[in-house]
A and B are shown apart, each in its own frame.
Chain A
Amino acid sequence: MKNEKKDIVKLNIPDIAGFILKALIPKFDFEYMIGIYEQSYMDIKRQKGKHYAYLWLSFQLCLAVLAFLKMKLNGSMTMIKNYLKIAFRTIRGQKIYSLMNILGLSLGFTCCILIYFYVADELSFDRFHKNGDSLFRIIRIIHNPDGSVLERHHQFPMPMGPELEEYSPEIKFLTRHKGGEGIVRYKDKMFIEYIDMADSCFFDIFTFPFILGRSSNSIADDHSVVLTKSYSLKYFGDENPIGKTMTVTFGQNKKDYVVTGVVKDIPQNSTIQFNILMNISNYASYWPYGGGNPLTFWSNFNAHYYLLLKQGASKESIEKNFPSFYEQYFSWYSQRINWDGKGNPFSIALQKMSEIHFDPGLYGGTNPVVYNILIGIALIVLVIACFNFINLSTGMSTVRSTEIGIRKVLGAGKKQLILQFWSESLVVSFFSMATGVFFASIIFSQFNEFIGKQIAIENFINIFTVIVFIILPLTAGILSGSYPALVMSNFNMHDTLKGKLKLGGKRGFTKSLIIMQFSLSIFLIMSTAIMGNQIRFMLNRDIGFEKEGLLVIDILENEKKDKDRVVDLFRNKANQSPGVLGLSVSTTNFGNFSAYSSIKKDGKNFSFLDNSIDYDFMETLGLKIIQGRDFSREYASDRDAVIVNQKFIEKLGLKSPVGKTIGEASRGFPDNLMIIGVVEDFNFLSLHNEIDPAIFHIQPGNWGYRYLLARVSTGNIPETLKHLESIWKEIQPEKPFVYKFLSDVLEDHYKTEKRWKGIIQISSILAIGIACMGIFGLTSITINQRVKEIGIRKVLGAKVLQIIKLVTKDFVILIGTANVIAWPITYYAMHKWLQNFAYRINIGIWIFILSGTFSLLIALLTVGYQSIKAAAANPVDSLRHE
């Protein structure tokens, strides 16, 4: 009974519906009308369920909008019909003018729609988890000795999980998330896959719906595996995968796993992605680096941690225990790095799941600047299109002045004229929106491909989207219609009918709008050019070695002895193959060097890239030794020798380095390695970064090598590849042949820049296109008005060229001004963008000149066609008056 009462007080309809009703229903009746809606809504909800009630309510709202509009407009309905009729007539009567208008606006809306979905998708990241509010990731905030924040990380050692769970009773579930590559096999299907691993409560924390199997305990034991739907199809096709066994090989550890569940494909707007998931205990079999069980390594910060708080527990209440947790479990860390600063070297904190995607400093985060730029671009294109509308309707005003005059004579008030112009602009705007939606739906799949996402549009079909799609054309229509509406309704009745109307001052407004349109377009064009140049520069720059024809082959073994065996066998066989010019080995994937070591130098840490390579490495890559010599098999002592790069010597300030040792050892680095040679600097990372100091040695340590590097002759790559693969199959019949070309790896570094360039390129084409449509329409209007003038000039002896000059002169001046405005803005913006790169181009003056000429040329072409037509016309046609 008590419950029921509470229910009644709570009775309500969704906020958004209340908002709409409030706008519709007269104030006086609102209170009681809302009650009526509430009761009906609740009745239906009780009888037929929430979704049905929601549907019913939206339907009711639609009808309410119609009914109330009808009521409010009761008297003026006829007038509105008339406005619409006139609007359609104007659109049909002025074909070029309306075409330019509608096409421009539709393109603007297309941009906006696409970018709306992009941004909406970004904002929806990680919001689908049911427990969203109490879902957190654990992060690590690393401090400087003075207590300020140095940087943040998101990884923690594996054994921390169980300890933390015991330590903090507020945690309901806690999972680690990690994974690695393994070879997955079912019958004759064999692929290398990234396999994710997590604790058994993974599916209690995250909401990933199961299609087959149960979510609880699906990965509780170490031989169960959960697949996504597409991966289940990939391996099992139409068969029921539940209970089937697939073999997974990590290094030499081969094991059978039973499929216990299939989940829906992970939505792409999820930070946590997996295709194959198993229990984290399998991480021990994956671990390729030896040294015992990785699940007990406190010193290895490598696992992601996610947790679900108990009901009622707050972020703060659990965070306040973390310092003492640190004392208990991480004090060894402070000792190891000889921490002498304030507090702890790092503190532990929680980060809300839904915030991860918007934190650019950590894994899974993106930079919000990206959305702002995208929204900015969409708005620029839309604004250019709206300016078209303003310019064209202002241009038309002289033509329509008689119409306005007569309307005024017949008693039309200012308000009615304003309404008429607004209804015209709204008709155009909504029609453009419809075409815009049509365009957007056509190119949506290409757009998805282009931005490298799969936006699931059905997630965003909701009342909010509908409102945006109505508000967008409404604002655009009202804004772009307001200038003609407010100015033209003010025309003096007498002047308009006498034909005395002069638009002296108003031309200035039109001109400034054209200047703005072209400034924005030129800005985008120049940005495209500069970005394109920078990317070309990075791809073609001499990076210190020959990257063409360099193959990186994954060894795919865990134990050092297996790796060595593969390397030796492969080297022996491949060296005899005619297509292979050189062969060497490296520990890290080329282009992604990331193993840093450091030494103590004058009491300071000096860090550098630490690369284990093999004999012939320099030769295979084509690097130049500028002092000393390369590693040689003839000197046994080379096992304790290093080759350093120029940067290394420069940073340490060594003179005549050959024969010296690199310094006091630190972090378990071998003592006193002797420098036998200096290699010329080369870029092993992307050109965003400066070249780092680096050393090369031929002691791979107990981890062994990871990649084979092969230089193949560029003449017949497919055949060489086939040959290498057959060699691989002989040595490793159980494992696939995985290779990459180094040039592809390096090109991958510039993927983001290329995408950006593409986006800016397309938007600059749109911008200049729409702006040109505007001046095309405008010239056609002006030429129509000046037809008699041109005729008389011709009769009096003006040449065709002079008349073309007469018509185009104005535009040339405008675009010249636009260039002058756009140049400094572009220079400033692009200069900032180029700061992202350690190696960058200079912004040359020729880019400015070229883009200036280009914009002028394109504008002249647009204007020229019509001016030539007008100039070449027979003056008799324009002057004859019958």
Chain B
Amino acid sequence: MKSLTQLEQHILLAVFHLEGNAYLITIREFLKKNTGKNHAIATIYVPLERLRKLGYLNTVTGGPSPKVGGRSIRYYHLTKPGFRVLSEMKKINNRMWLGFPEGVPIEK
């Protein structure tokens, strides 16, 4: 399993959550809503390409859509390896986070 950066993880999760409506703009908005970070279009495109090359995502090009000025949209879908990698990550994360308290403990 190749190591993923946090942004790549987030993007994979975003694609998962958007359930078939994942393309550059929605992914960007999703990330903004959930992480508060405003990424440039190109800074999302680059890891998306990497994830696609790694085989974690595949793409479906839709027909011309008025949403993007009559051009075709490319939707991203999670592949099986992608799903596997996410669940692997989740396991690791769960292990690592186990026992970590909510909020900062109060000092006595």
Q: Which residues of A contact B (CB under 8 A)?
A: 8-9, 11-12, 24-25, 29, 31-40, 42, 59-60, 63-64, 66-68, 70-71
B49 contacts A31, CB within 8 Å?
no
Contacts of A11 in B (CB 8 A): 69-70
Min distance, Cβ A26 to any Cβ of chain B, angstroms: 8
**Interface pair B68/A39, CB less than 8 Å apart:** yes
- Taken together as a complex, chains A and B put the C-alpha atoms of A67 and B50 apart, in Å, by 12
Asked whether B51 is an interface residue with its Cβ less than 8 Å from the other chain, the reply is no
For B45, list chain A residues within 8 Å (CB).
25, 29, 33, 67
- Contact check, A40 vs B46: say whether CB atoms are below 8 A apart: no
Contact with A along B63-77 (1 / 0, CB 8 A): 000111111111000
A8 pairs with B66, CB closer than 8 A: yes
Instruction: State how many angstroms separate the Cβ of A53 from the closest Cβ of chain B.
Output: 14
Question: Is A39 a contact of B67 with CB atoms below 8 Å?
Answer: yes
Does B42 have its Cβ within 8 Å of any Cβ on chain A? Answer: yes
Distance of A67 Cα from B73 Cα, bound (Å): 21
Closest residue of chain B to A31, judged by CB?
B71
Interface string of B39-83 (1 = CB under 8 A from A): 011110110011000000000010000111111111000000000
A795 to B30, CA, bound (A): 82
Tell me the nearest residue of chain A to B29, going by C-beta.
A40
Q: How far is the CA of A64 from the CA of B74 in the complex (A)?
A: 19
12 further A-B contacts with Cβ under 8 Å, apart from A42-B69, A71-B50, are A11-B69, A32-B73, A33-B24, A35-B73, A36-B23, A36-B25, A39-B68, A40-B25, A63-B43, A64-B42, A67-B45, A70-B46
B contact residues around A37 at 8 Å (CB)? 41
Q: How far is A618 from B70 in the complex, measured between Cα atoms in Å?
A: 85
Minimum Cβ distance to chain B for residue A13 (Å)? 10
Residues of A within 8 A of B69 (CB): 8-9, 11-12, 35, 38-39, 42
Nearest chain-A residue to B28 (Cβ)? A40
- Within the complex, the shortest CB–CB distance from A8 to chain B, in Å, comes to 6
The minimal Cβ–Cβ distance linking A302 to chain B, given in whole angstroms, is: 56
Minimum distance in angstroms from A11 CB to a CB of chain B: 4
Given A35-B71, A39-B25, A40-B25, A64:B41 Cβ within 8 A: yes
Find out whether the CB atom of A40 lies under 8 angstroms from the CB atom of B70.
no
The majority secondary structure among interface residues of chain A is helix
The reply to whether A60 and B40 form a contact with Cβ atoms under 8 Å apart is yes
Bound Cα distance A42, B25 (Å) = 13
Known pairs A31-B72, A67-B46; A40 contacts B41 (CB<8 A) = yes
Instruction: Give Cα distance in the complex from A35 to B24, angstroms.
Output: 10
Contact of A35 with B40 at beta-carbon distance under 8 Å, contacts A8-B66, A67-B45, A67-B46 already known: no
8 Å CB contact of A9 from B23, B24, B46, B70? B70
How many angstroms between the C-alpha atoms of A34 and B46 in the bound complex?
15
| A60 contact from B25, B41, B46, B71, Cβ within 8 A | B41
Q: How far is the CB of A22 from chain B (nearest CB, A)?
A: 13
The answer to whether B46 and A36 have CB atoms under 8 Å apart is no
Q: Which residue of A lies closest to B49 (CB)?
A: A71
Chain B min CB distance to A451 (Å): 41
Establish whether residues A36 and B24, one from each chain, have CB atoms under 8 Å apart when the complex forms.
yes
* Chain B residues engaging chain A, CB cutoff 8 angstroms: 23-25, 40-43, 45-46, 49-50, 61, 66-74
Shortest distance between the CB of B51 and any CB in chain A (Å): 13
Known contacts A11-B69, A36-B68; A63 and B25 CB within 8 A of each other: no
Q: For the complex, what is the distance from the CA of A42 to the CA of B43, rounded to whole Å?
A: 20
Q: A37-B41, A60-B41 are in contact. Are A8 and B61 (CB under 8 A)?
A: no
Question: What residue in chain B is nearest A21 (Cβ atoms)?
Answer: B42
How far is A29 from B72 in the complex, measured between Cα atoms in Å?
11
For B67, what are the chain A residues with a Cβ–Cβ distance below 8 Å? 39
Residues of B with C-beta under 8 A to A38? 68-69, 71
Assess whether B40 is in contact with A63, with CB atoms less than 8 Å apart: yes
In the complex formed, the residue of A with least CB distance to B44 is A67
CA–CA, A36 to B46, complex, Å?
14
Chain A to chain B contacts (Cβ below 8 Å), 24 pairs: A9-B69, A9-B70, A11-B70, A12-B69, A29-B49, A31-B71, A32-B74, A33-B41, A35-B71, A35-B72, A35-B73, A36-B41, A36-B68, A39-B67, A59-B40, A60-B40, A60-B42, A63-B43, A64-B40, A64-B42, A67-B40, A67-B42, A68-B46, A71-B50
Chain B residue numbers with a CB within 8 Å of A42 are: 69
Q: For residue A12, give the distance in angstroms from its CB to the closest CB of chain B.
A: 8
Q: In the complex the two chains form, what is the Cα distance from A67 to B68 in whole Å?
A: 22
In chain A, what residue has the closest Cβ to B23?
A36
CB distance from A286 to the nearest CB of B (A): 59
Chain B: CB-nearest residue to A74: B50
Contacts of B41 in A (CB 8 A): 33, 36-37, 40, 60, 64
A63 lies within 8 A of B42 (CB): yes
CB neighbours (8 Å) of B71 from chain A are 31-32, 34-35, 38
In the assembled complex, the Cα of A37 lies from the Cα of B28 at a distance in Å of 12
Which residue of A24, A34, A36, A68 has the most chain B CB atoms within 10 A of its CB atom?
Answer: A36
Residues of B contacting A24 in the complex (Cβ-Cβ under 8 angstroms): 42
**Are the CB atoms of A32 and B66 closer together than 8 Å?**
no
Complex: A60 Cα to B25 Cα, angstroms: 14
Minimum CB distance partner of A32 in chain B: B74
Cα–Cα distance between A37 and B25 once the two chains are bound (Å): 9
* B residues near A67, Cβ cutoff 8 Å: 40, 42-43, 45-46
Check B25 against A68 for contact (C-beta < 8 Å): no
In whole Å, how far is B31's beta carbon from the nearest beta carbon of chain A?
A: 14
Residue on A nearest B64 in the bound complex, by CB: A35
Given A36-B24, A39-B25, residue A8 in contact with residue B42 (CB < 8 A): no
* Chain A residues in 8 Å Cβ range of B23: 36
Q: How far is the CB of A36 from chain B (nearest CB, A)?
A: 5
* Bound: A40/B71 CA distance, A: 13
The verdict on A32 contacting B61 (CB below 8 Å), with A67-B40, A67-B43, A68-B46 known, is: yes
* The 9 nearest A-B residue pairs measured at CB: A35-B71, A64-B42, A35-B68, A63-B40, A11-B69, A67-B42, A36-B24, A39-B68, A38-B69
Q: Which residues of A lie under 8 Å from residue B49 when comparing CB positions?
A: 29, 71
Closest partner residue, chain B, to A38 (CB atom): B69
CB distance from A14 to the nearest CB of B (A): 14
A657 to chain B, nearest CB (A): 85
- Nearest-Cβ distance from residue B68 to partner chain A, whole angstroms: 4
Looking at the complex, which one of A8, A29, A60 makes contact with B70 (CB distance below 8 Å)? A8
Measured between alpha carbons, how far is A752 from B43 in the docked complex, in Å? 54
CB neighbours (8 Å) of A32 from chain B are: 61, 68, 71-74
* Listed residue (B23, B25, B71, B72) with the most chain A CB atoms within 10 angstroms of its CB: B71
In the bound complex, CA of A68 to CA of B43 (Å): 8
Bound Cα distance A40, B44 (Å): 14
Chain B residue contacts of A33, Cβ below 8 A: 24, 41, 45
CB distance from B50 to the nearest CB of A (A): 8
- Note all chain A residues with C-beta closer than 8 A to B40: 59-60, 63-64, 67
Q: State A806–B37 Cα separation when bound (angstroms).
A: 69
Which residues of A are found within 8 Å of B25, using beta-carbon distances? 36, 39-40
Inter-chain CA distance A38–B41, complex, in Å, is 11
Q: How far is the CB of B79 from chain A (nearest CB, A)?
A: 19
CA distance A35 to B42 in the complex (A): 13
Alpha-carbon distance between A741 and B69 when the two chains are bound, in angstroms: 70
- Alpha-carbon distance between A64 and B43 when the two chains are bound, in angstroms: 7
Q: How far is the CA of A66 from the CA of B42 in the complex (A)?
A: 9
Q: Which residue of A lies closest to B68 (CB)?
A: A35
Q: Which residue of B lies closest to A12 (CB)?
A: B69
Task: Give Cα A39–Cα B66 distance, bound, in whole angstroms.
Answer: 10
Complex-state Cα separation, A34 to B61, whole angstroms: 14
**Shortest Cβ gap from B70 to chain A (Å):** 6
Most chain B CB within 10 A, of A39, A40, A60, is at: A39
B42 to chain A, nearest CB (A): 3
Shortest distance in angstroms between B52's beta carbon and chain A's nearest beta carbon?
10
CB distance from B41 to the nearest CB of A (A): 6
Minimum CB distance partner of B39 in chain A? A63
Q: In the complex, which residue of chain A has the Cβ closest to the Cβ of B69?
A: A11
**Alpha-carbon gap, A63 to B66, bound state (A):** 27
- Chain A nearest CB, measured from B54 CB (Å): 13
Closest CB-CB distance, B40 to chain A, in whole Å?
4
Which chain B residues border A12 with CB–CB below 8 Å? 69
